[in-house]
Amino acid sequence: MEPTNGEVLLEKLAEESDQPSGEIKIRLLADKRLPIDTINGLPLDLQELETRINSARPAAQGQLQLTVLGEVSEPTK
């Protein structure tokens, strides 16, 4: 997926929640200019989305697991 903001990421994942069970790895890259609430909030939003998706899926379809990898770095110039 192309670089995007958190809201777009959550929307795309929700749209694709009908995919087979298994792990989806999400790599978050943020720079230090972002507010700490944004950096800390997106992984929590992703956990809530995972719970919401899995609770709506039939047991036969299996569970999705969102694995979030994060990195905060200096802004690019």
3-state helix, strand, coil in the chain (%, to 5): 45, 25, 30
Task: Look up the pTM and report it.
Answer: 0.72
> Would you tell me how many other CB atoms lie within 10 Å of the CB of residue 40?
10
- Give residue 10's pLDDT: 77
Angle between helices 6-15 and 36-56 (to 10 degrees): 10
- Give residue 51's pLDDT: 92
Looking at per-residue pLDDT, the higher value among 35 and 4 belongs to: 35
Q: Is the pLDDT of residue 76 over 70?
A: no
Task: Please return the burial class of 55, using the count of CB atoms within 10 Å of its CB with bins 0-12, 13-18 and 19+.
Answer: exposed
Q: pLDDT band for position 31 (50/70/90)?
A: confident
What tokens appear for 3 in the block?
């670089």
State what percent of residues in the chain have pLDDT above 70. Answer: 88
Q: pLDDT band for position 4 (50/70/90)?
A: low
